[in-house]
Chain A
Amino acid sequence: MTAHRKDTARPAEPILALDDLGVVFTTESAQVPAVRGVSLEVRPGETLALVGESGSGKSTVALAAMGLLPGNARVTGRAAVAGTDIVGADEAGLSRLRGRTVSMVFQEPATALDPLTRIGKQITEVIRNHHDVSAREAAARAVDLLRRVGIPEPERRAAAYPFQLSGGQRQRVVIAMAIANDPALLIADEPTTALDVTVQAEILDLLRRLAAETGTGVLLVTHNMGVVADFADRVAVMYQGRLVESGTVEDVLLRPTHDYTRRLLAAVPRLEVALPDDGAAANALTKPVPGTRTTEPPREKGRTPAAQEGTPVLALDDVSVVFGRGRRAVRALDGVSFLVRPGETLGLVGESGSGKSTAARVALGLITPNAGTVSLFGTDLAHSRARARRRLRAGIGVVLQDPVASLDARMTVGECVAEPLRVHRRELSARDRRGLVEDVLERVRLPRALARRAPGELSGGQRQRVSLARALVLEPRLLVADEPTSALDVSVQESVLEVITELQDELGFACLFVSHDLAVVQHFARRVAVLRGGRIEEQGPTGETLLHPETDYTRRLLAAAPVPDPVVQRARRTERLAALAAGRTEGGA
């Protein structure tokens, strides 16, 4: 594992060369330029990370390099793979190139594979697209490939259908298809975005190993600065369809020159880690990025002793939830207990399937637990009348993950926000209601005039703030936020989290904050509970639990989360791999 591949003069021809590439999409109502004047090169054996937020055009560049853009795209400029022009090439030419010289790994392993075709067959298809080999020979190669990408029992697994594999394993299959013909260039479009952090680390390890073994050039498209720090040699930053900055990973991530790059990096929540060689003290990450705000220390929340007293606003006691019956029953929660005290923030973290969202839904009364008790503001929900329960619910505010699905597209923003008032304060006049709605919109830093707009006209960040306004309009004592910023870009995430923090200081509500993002939880929650497989792995004050975890699982979780500093991340990766090698034999996905 070489830590440095310095950019000395390299004789090799670039495997990918983009020259003044432009892409315009023709939509129903307009011509939308997605990429403008992008020029870049990837040389054999190097990894170029193309980073940017959604809408920056980075995925469009990747697809353009494969000649896979949809029919409504118009491409200008030049894109060449191994000296062959992609722009304007016919389908026969492109299909000769695709899968052999250049291949691609996609974001969504759940949908990237044909659901009705066995995985072995899908791999052999890629081989036989380019090599005239017998079916038996190709099948043998497919098994080899599955072994190379770390699928256990590859002979047996080759006969599996995609749905029989986990997300991580499916991504390994997609990678196996991509490397089947030893391509000179591998394009990976957000290859780990849909995966849990521990799986992400494994997939990145795999990609790095494969690229190093074969000298393949990699174009890595991602929004995640941690992944960039972990993987890339060079970085190119895109913003609104243009390339704004490029350079070595150290230069761009530690000494950014462009204003946008600085803002972007400043907005990335940084996981504070105890460094390997410095195990005793919490070492605030990093040299601060010059010219930007230094990262803040974790918030000291609930300083007033009063905040910790009184009955908890929410208490789950030994709660279990089972979905389904009989042999197919899934235990989503298993004896989970936690409290949220007045005014404090409890972070629930865990990977997918850990039960964190189920726990939030139990707290919201949307799922009735099979065992255990749920108390809201000191009242046991199971032993209260429906009417009393509804009154209690007036004290809850809810923000869910999906900015699109959270607001009814048929209502105006004002109607969305006013809905809790219509449910619980029916005595209000239309005028008073409008007043309250506009006030709360202002509180979440949205213009009052937005009340008359349709949610469809708003951006994702604005929508989540509207959701927040709706959650806060009744001045609740508890805010339940289930991944409120996961669908947002980091810069937008930052501003939404800031608004929540400020309003919490001002209004003093407690918060149950569900997230998969350790860094966000670390900055946001005072206490944290780590869930795994429906059980609470450990819980405690954020500072201790996330810096000096007690359980092996939490340690692995933390080690797997990449930090956006190439130097620190390289050291952590080395340590993690060493721990892995020492600890266990290869365990698969």
Chain B
Amino acid sequence: MSALIQPAEMPGTDDTPREAASGVRLAVRRFLRNRLAVAGLCVVAFFVLFCFAGPLVYSTDQTHTALQQVNLSPRGDHWLGTDAVGHDELGRLMYGGKVSLVVGLAAGVLATVIGTLWGATAGYAGGWIDAVMMRVVDAGIAIPALFILLVVSAITTPGLAGMILILGLVSWLVPSRLIRAETLSLKNRDYVLTLRAIGGTHARAILRHILPNSVSTLVVATTFQIADAILLVAYVSYLGLGVQPPATDWGGMLSAGLNAAYSGYWWLILPPGLAIILVVWAFNAIGDGLRDAFDVRGRG
């Protein structure tokens, strides 16, 4: 990568050096220099391996209860002990992690997609359409997601896909505001104005210019959104809306272990709790690193 510094012909009058190196490679390098972000990346990689490849190495029975060996403390054949119905806790951590990761990832991506479509439409259309659409977003933000989730849980018990859908539907608001702001600024860029002036269509402006230029904002937003979704999954189980036994996720394990905590069964709460914290922390660190690397502003 070469920094192209051409003092004689750079625009402007400020003569602190500028760089115009290839954006992606520069971003990658900035990202890799951010130690927290790299650590986050390693943590995510570890947990993906742990949950998806782990059971191949450490295989356990997660469907049948084993009531003769409940709440065992960590030992040779159960590295992290067993829970209240005799499931191996380490195996359960892998098993529940799959659900947490898949639901979090899918819900985070879904939320960003919905938010992007909504925000981009509002921002590009402008005027009263924008005003109405953004009031809807304000209204959505005004109702805390946890409360909506509790109401939903009082009405119905969704399956895995239903859960992804519900989580996506309650968390698209913040990304929609982000993308709207981005679209607003992009649609008045000189190259979009030039295209419009020579008779280019709106479709072309959106597809060829506005969306490609929003990619970095989108990537950053998605990362944070995944972090929030994984956290939300943990709350959902705590609220009793999560996947039903014998299936589980980290949040479910944690809330199941809450009562056991006072009995001193630390192995039932610390592992899932730490797993949630580590993964959510990791996605946040990655998002933070990506934002700095791409020079994207604002986190909602």
Contacts and interface: CB of A to CB of B under 8 A. Distances in A.
A and B in direct contact, judged by CB atoms within 8 A:
yes
Interface of A: 25, 27-30, 32, 34, 53-60, 70, 107, 190, 193, 223, 240-241, 361, 364-366, 389-394, 396-398, 400-411, 416, 419-420, 422-424, 454, 456-463, 467, 470, 474, 480, 487-489, 491-492
B199 A241 contact: no
Nearest to B195: A419
B212 interface: yes
A240 B193 contact: no
B194 interface: yes
Given A27-B19, A32-B5, A55-B7, 18 more contacts: A29-B19, A29-B21, A53-B7, A54-B12, A54-B14, A55-B17, A60-B15, A396-B198, A398-B197, A406-B190, A406-B191, A423-B201, A456-B20, A456-B23, A459-B8, A460-B9, A488-B11, A489-B8
A398 B194 contact: yes
Question: What is the interface of chain B mostly: helix, strand, loop, or mixed?
Answer: loop
Interface string B1-36: 111111111111111110111110010011000000
A54 B11 contact: yes
A443 B209 CA distance: 26
A29 B8 CA distance: 20
Contact of B12 (A241, A406, A487): A487
Best-surrounded residue of A190, A400, A459, A463 (most CB of chain B within 10 A): A459
B88 to A, nearest CB: 48
B189 A405 contact: yes
Interface of B: 1-17, 19-23, 26, 29-30, 189-191, 193-201, 204, 208-209, 212-213, 215
Contacts of A57: 7, 15
Contacts of B17: 25, 27, 32, 34, 55
A96 B298 CA distance: 38
Contacts of B12: 54, 460, 487
A405 B14 contact: no
A410 B213 contact: yes
Given A55-B5, A406-B194, A480-B197, A25 B16 contact: yes
Contacts of A364: 193, 197
A396 B213 CA distance: 26
A402 B21 contact: no
Contact of B196 (A366, A402, A408): A366
A408 B192 CA distance: 8
Given A28-B26, A32-B17, A408 B191 contact: yes
Given A30-B3, A391-B199, A423-B199, A366 B193 contact: yes
Given A27-B3, A410-B212, A456-B22, A400 B11 contact: no
B21 A423 contact: no
A407 B200 CA distance: 15
Contacts of B193: 361, 364, 366, 398, 400
Contacts of A402: 11, 190
A55 B15 contact: yes
A474 B200 CA distance: 13
Contacts of B2: 29
B9 A70 contact: no
A456 B8 contact: no
B39 to A, nearest CB: 21
Contacts of A463: 11
